[in-house]
Each structure stands twice: as C-alpha cells, then as structure tokens.
A and B are shown apart, each in its own frame.
Chain A
Amino acid sequence: MPDIFHYALLWFLSIGSFFLLMLLIGHVLMALFLIVPTWRIFVRAGFSGGWSLLHLIPLIGSFIVMAILAFGDWPNGEASGSG
C-alpha cells in the first residue's frame, strides 16, 4: 500500500513538473516572439534594446514594456515632439 502511494506521488510530481516545464518553455517562446520586434522598437526609439527582456516577466511584463515606450521620452525623437 505504501508503495502504491509512493508511486502515485511520484507520478503526479512528474506530471506536474513536466507541465510546469512546458509552461515555462511556452512562456519563453511566446516572449521571444514579443522580444524580437520590441527590441527593435526600443532601439529605434533610442532606448537600450535590453528593456524588451521585461517581456519575460509573467503577466505584467508586456504592460511595463508598453508603459516605457508610451510614457518615456524617446531619445531619438518623437513625431509629435521636437525630434
């Protein structure tokens, strides 16, 4: 009986770890699709492209990235600004 419980626990832990790993890989892959174009946008705006790595933060990363681009002064000039 303890052996069955032991194997069941191992099974569930393995399944859970696998899904967590898949979730992590999926998140990173999805973030990569966002990081590449955002990196270029940051560079064109005059910021460091490294800011786009904030996409790796779950849930709120994209919002932080958008907030930097939307509310920060672009060093390379803005269309509505003095340029």
Chain B
Amino acid sequence: MGTGFAALLGLVGLSSAFALVAFVLAAWMAWRIVEKAGLPGWTGLGAILLTLTAVGTIVPLVLLWIFAFMRWPRDTMALARATTSGASGSTTGGAAAPSAPSALPPPPKALTDSRGWTLTGKLGDGTAISLSFDASSSAWTLTGAPAAQRTELSVPDPSVSRPHARLMVAGARLGLADLGSADGTFLDGARLLPEHGPRDITSIRAIRLGSVELALSRV
C-alpha cells in the first residue's frame, strides 16, 4: 500500500514537472511571438497564464483569434517606415502617418559604352588598312611612320605626315586635331587646320588624312 502510494505520488510529481516545463516553455514562446508582432511581451504571457485560471482554454483561444485578425503594430511601423523613406517630406506623428504615394525608384543608370572605334580604308597603293583604338588611352597619334608605341596608329602612306593628327578619347566622345600635317586633314570633306584645335568627330563618318580616306565606325 505504501509503495503504491509512493508510486502514485511520483507519477503525479513527474506529470507536474512536465506540465510546469511545458507551461514555462509556452509562456516564453508566446512572449516572443507577440513581441515579433509588435505587442508587449506580457500580453502573450498573460494569455498563457489564463489557462491556469478557471476559464480554462476558452479565453486563450479567443485571444488567439483576436491576435490573428487584429492590426499588428509591426504592420503600422512598416507602413510608417515605407512612407518616411518613400516620400520626400517627413512624416508627423510616426505611427499614424498619412499614406503618401511613394516615390518611384530611380531609372537604371545608362550602361557605359565600352566599345572602341575602327578606322578602315585603303592606302594609295590599294592596301587595305584597319586601325582600332578605344578608351584605354585618352590620346592616339595618327602617323605615317611605323607605330613605335601602343598609342600610335600607323598609316603607311606618303601623304600622311609623321605625325599627322591626334585622336582624343573622352568617354564616348572622340576628338581629332591636326598636328600641322603637310597634306592636310579633312572631316567629311572640310579641311581641319591646326589652329582649329580639337574637333568633335563623334558623328563624323569620313576622315581623310592626306589622300587616304578612312571610315570611322564603332566596334
């Protein structure tokens, strides 16, 4: 009889221990859940505590339904943040901010044009020539001599001076300056004199160095 009573007490004690652990765990989790929704943590704890009272599980169940369908402070805060960051003006009152149309995101930046240029044409003796250059250097020299540097573009023709002209690259724009050539530089048929300085040839298609006609294109 005594052993059975002790076993019963032990069973009750074990069950109580499990119930206590479950109760504390549930209260802790309820606290965290309502805090994530923006409510004070004690409201979740209180809902779990109510299960200890005579009302049983009915009231916590009702509170669960209220919690599921009520307006959460988290949503109000998110709306206020979106309004503050989206509108140009500052909001007044924070949570009760009027809903202003949020600004559209800025248009995407234009892609940088990293293409190079090509000068193609024929020399006086009929030899085809193709010169490529890009924005890796801001200045390229057109010369009748063989290219001694990477930034020199050789046009081996007797009518091309050494040097003849300079190409200047600034982003997607291209300039050309005559360097006092003997037989002259021509842009779309018009003579470019050294005193003219650099000319924008971005929209120019035909360049003549002496007697060598070159077509400008982008690659």
Contacts and interface: CB of A to CB of B under 8 A. Distances in A.
Nearest to A67: B29
A63 to B, nearest CB: 7
A69 B37 CA distance: 10
Given A34-B61, A70-B29, A80 B36 contact: yes
A37 B36 contact: no
Interface size class, chain A: 20 to 34
A4 B25 CA distance: 51
Contact of B28 (A36, A70, A74, A83): A70
B139 interface: no
Interface residues of B, number: 24
**Interface SS of chain A:** helix
Closest 9 CB pairs of A and B: A79-B38, A37-B68, A70-B29, A79-B74, A70-B32, A66-B29, A78-B36, A40-B68, A37-B65
Interface of A: 33-34, 36-38, 40-41, 44-45, 62-63, 66-67, 69-71, 74, 77-81, 83
Given A38-B64, A70-B29, A81-B36, 15 more contacts: A36-B68, A37-B69, A40-B69, A44-B68, A44-B72, A63-B26, A66-B33, A69-B29, A70-B28, A70-B30, A71-B32, A78-B36, A78-B37, A79-B38, A80-B36
